[in-house]
Amino acid sequence: MTTTRLVAGSVALVFALAATATITYFATRPSGMSLGIPSSLTAPPAKTFVLTGVLTIESDLSGVQTDGTGTTDSACQGTGGYSDLTPGTAVKVSDGAGHVIATGSITSGTAQTSYLYDHNVVTGCQLGFTVNDVPDGLPSYVLTISHRGDQFLPADRAHAPITLTIGG
């Protein structure tokens, strides 16, 4: 019996010393020491996508300015009542609660023309836009170009090229 008590008492003493050593280590650990959290426990980077599209201004030369050639591949931008629709104009994407989650801009414009009475007539301007790093996984998005109002987009539509028209 004495041997059994001695072994049981020794085991209990070892566990008590181990617990005390562990507590002492955490209590005296330098504050700058890393805990070494495995990378498998850190959050994965958020997935994003690029939202792209075209905004078409349907207007004659009173609402569209071209680079002067007036051909189909001419550069163009809005003028008059559409003067806010030019390359560099802000494009923002918000979540359903109205928080801006990504921004981009109108990138370029290409004139639309029709052949009437033996010459080309400007009938509009197609302005491309791009918004990079839009967080993926939301059920819907809100797209705003300049001050032209909000376009509500379900997630599947936001992932496809957007086509919008103004004027006409």
**Residue 20: is its pLDDT beyond 60?**
no
pLDDT confidence of residue 53: 97
Please check the confidence at residue 19 and state whether its pLDDT lies above 70: no
Both tokens of 10, joined, read 């020794």
pLDDT digits (tens, 9 = 90+) for 96-149: 899 999 999 999 898 888 877 777 778 899 999 999 999 999 999 999 999 999
Question: Domain spans of the chain?
Answer: 2-39, 48-167
Q: Does residue 34 have a pLDDT over 60?
A: no
Which pLDDT value is given to residue 138? 96
Q: Which residues of 112-143 are buried (b: 16+ CB within 10 A; e: fewer)?
A: bbeeeeeeeebbbbbbbbebeebeeebeebbb
- Banded pLDDT at 35 (limits 50, 70, 90): low
Task: Label each residue of 29-84 as H, E or C.
Answer: CCCCCCCCCCHHHCCCCCCEEEEEEEEEEECCCCCEEECCCCCCCCEEEECHHHCC
Task: Look at residue 156 and tell me whether its pLDDT is greater than 70.
Answer: yes
The per-residue pLDDT for 18 is 41
The whole-angstrom separation of Cα 142 and Cα 95 is 6
Q: What was the pLDDT predicted at 131?
A: 98
What pLDDT was estimated at residue 14?
41
